[in-house]
Structure formats: C-alpha cells, structure tokens
Chains A and B, each alone.
Chain A
C-alpha cells in the first residue's frame, strides 16, 4: 500500500498527475512540467516534500555523534538555527545519503534525509548511535513544503502573523527558525530564493491553501528535478550512491578534513583515495548538437570514458544539460553517445542557472 502525504487530496484538487515515488503517491506535474519550471524561475511555486524524513536528535552527546556520523563537521554550526549540507558515508567511503543538519541548541539537532533512503538511513543511525546517549525521534507528525522562486519569500511572509513575519524576515541563508507551529528554513533545491517549511500534518492543508491564495502555484516532482539539475544540485541515487565516493560526486567541498583527528565514518577510505589521486570528477555538460542528454549515456573524451548521471532538457536555457562522471583530466569538450550517434557537448562547471540567470558563458 503506497503512502500518501497529508496534501494528497489537495494535489488531486489541483489536477495533479500522481506517480509512485519511493513508495509515495506524489504529484509529477499538475498539467505542464515546463510551465511549472518557469513559474518557479519567474515567480513562486510550492512543492510537497512531506515524503522526506525529518529526524530530531536530542541529548548532550548529539554533537559528538554527528561529528562521527557526517563527513562535514557540525562544529561549524555555532549559531542557533544554522544548517549544514553533508554526506553520510559508509566505512568504504560510499555515500549512504546526503542530508541537511540543523543546529537548534547544544542538545538538539535536526536532520532531513531523503525519502528513498529512509529505512537504511534510520537503520544506520540506530546502529551508529549505540555508543551514544541520544534520543532519536522520527517526525512523521510533520509535513514539509518547499516554497521557491523570486517572489517566494515575500509570499510566505505575507501569510504569517506580524510577530512570526519579523523572525522569518531576519533569517539568513541556510538558517532555520521555529515560529509558532512552523519551522521555517532558508533552504531549497532549485537555485532560487525561498523557504522549506515544516508544520504539523493537520495544519499543512490550510497553509497550502493560504499560499495558493497569494498565487504560489503547486509544482510537481518533474519540475523539481529539472530545477535542481539546472542549479547543479545532486540527486541521491542518480549522481551519487553507495558505490561512489563524495570525491567523484562533486561533494568534495562538503568534506571537513580539519581537524585531522576528527575520525568520521569513511574518513580513512576517502583519505586514501585522495592521496592516491582521484581519477574521476562530476562535471556539467551542455549539448551543442540537437538532442537530449539522459542518465547512463556514455561520454567519450581523450582521457577516456565517462557516464551521464543525470540529464534533461533545460527549460530555462532551451538546451540539453547534464551532470556526468568523467575522467578528472577531461578537456573543454567531449562526445556523448545518443542512440548510436556521437554528439558534441561542452564541459562546464556544474551550475547552469542561479536566481533565474544562466551561468553559462
């Protein structure tokens, strides 16, 4: 029996086409994926991301635990509400999941992990937690929506009480704050301004309706994928998984190597990989010929072969773009095999669009 979020009936009412996503019945689009994509780049849209997993960790040893669990270092989080993006690695350096950790106080951190990895993540957390005195609470009582786009912050603020609005308006990038029943964070997966908001399941429907009333349009998972790919953000299971290290997945920047004595899980493996020399990297591709790049297409360059990990047609750029794992010494161009033909693609930094603007030369 598939799961449904508290917003399921709202999706149907908005004309959603529903698909199965990681065991959840989720909206793929509400009519046109491309239109929804443009809506987020030019105005404001909202995504039901209630299938994602919110995990609260309480206890004096939580910080020490997360310093062991995560490749990034929660010691960087000094101010209340500050968030951190991190990989959670296996001993062999493979990526178990990517997540966001919020520092709420010295005894309280909140993690947000992917829906598709829920069971193995929770099992991993429990296994690693045995030597620590921590209380873990999976917050299935909370729903979550992402409100994204150039007018998204203004729209969200307009439906809050005066008191809450002031607190939310003061939020810095990558900070979260609890205001009344809402946990509001300036995070997202689109490359646009906006918030991700958690609130009790029984309140989410009203909040959704309030946002609809101020012209925030519902956006499906289809546009969520094209938006994140344009923004150059990784998708777990496509761009990285347990068979790939963060070093070949564009996640090197999320690894905190200092202090050297912080013995996080997977450290030995990726340190060895790094000292031997990392042979591959994740790059962006822009197709110069006509066609559409897709996951698993083969990439050819002088230095060897690679593979596209995520590809699509970019509605903002009207070109096909991709993330690809390729030889580290790849040049400025490569070829991609599409249906037996080799087409030319340009190799770029894996950020294609930010705040509505093309990042290509």
Chain B
C-alpha cells in the first residue's frame, strides 16, 4: 500500500494539502498518483500570484507515459512554486510528500479545508 501521512488532507483528484504553521498551504500529488504516472519528466507549475478557485487546473505533471492535470484544492493565491522540479521532476516520484511538493498557496477561506478527505477517506476513495 502507498505511504499516506495522517496529518495531511487529500482530494479525490490525488492532491495532498499540508497546513503550515503560518496558515499557508503546501500542495503536492500523492504517492499513489506518482505511482500511477510513473517516471516524471516535466512539471508545468502555475504562476506565482495567480488567484485560483478550488477545482481549477493549475499544474501539469508529465511522465514518460502521459500528461496529468493537478487542481487547486481550495480557493486562494499561489505564493510559491517548487523551482527544484524544473531540473529534477523525479523528486515527485522519490519524495512525493516532501521534497516533491508542487506549490504553496494562501487560502482565501480556510474552512474549505474541512471538505477535503482525511487519510482514511482518501484511502477509501481509491477502492471505489
């Protein structure tokens, strides 16, 4: 089974969301998602400063096999992107929940986080 940190929130489209101590969010894709994609070779990240709504497509991760969209989990502004992925997209494969993070955002309404899955609910969603 894929590794699944219990302190994160998850979406049905396989993003994970970490709430940082300053209230900002760090977002990446789950171990399960990177495993499905296989070796990543290119990550197209959003623009810093972009203001996006929950569910909007904002990043594309491409493996040797296929391109896959990544969506914004909640409304908010992109405040940082993981520039390391430009040279080392494979970080998403090797360390999806840490060094392979995609972007950080400032949520406009933190209560939207409550609608996301916890680890158990995400796990259950994979069985459907």
Contacts and interface: CB of A to CB of B under 8 A. Distances in A.
The answer to whether A and B interact is yes
Interface of A: 29, 32-35, 222, 226, 290-292, 294, 312-313, 315, 320, 339
Provide the main secondary structure of the chain A interface.
mixed
A339 B60 contact: yes
Contacts of A32: 38-39
A214 to B, nearest CB: 26
B67 interface: yes
Contacts of A315: 41, 64
B42 A313 contact: yes
B42 A34 contact: no
Given A33-B65, A315-B64, A292 B41 contact: yes
Contacts, number: 38
Interface of B: 38-39, 41-42, 44, 60, 62, 64-67, 86
Contact of B42 (A29, A222, A292): A292
A312 B64 CA distance: 6
A151 to B, nearest CB: 23
13 contacts: A29-B38, A33-B38, A33-B39, A34-B39, A34-B64, A222-B38, A226-B64, A290-B42, A291-B62, A294-B66, A313-B42, A313-B64, A339-B44
A313 B38 contact: no
Interface centre among A29, A35, A313, A315 (most CB of B within 10 A): A313
Interface centre among B44, B60, B62, B65 (most CB of A within 10 A): B65
Contacts of B39: 32-35
Contacts of A34: 39, 41, 64
A313 B65 CA distance: 9
B42 A291 contact: yes
Nearest to A318: B41
Contact of A222 (B44, B62, B64): B64
A294 B41 CA distance: 13
B60 A313 contact: no
A290 B44 CA distance: 9
Nearest to A37: B64
Contacts of A339: 44, 60
B37 to A, nearest CB: 10
B85 to A, nearest CB: 11
B62 A292 contact: yes
Contacts of B44: 290-291, 339
A33 B64 contact: yes
Nearest to B42: A292
B58 to A, nearest CB: 12
Contacts of B86: 290
Contacts of A222: 38, 64-65
A339 to B, nearest CB: 7
A33 B65 CA distance: 9
Nearest to A287: B42
Given A292-B62, A339-B60, A313 B67 contact: no
Nearest to B65: A222
A311 to B, nearest CB: 11
B70 to A, nearest CB: 13
Nearest to A34: B39
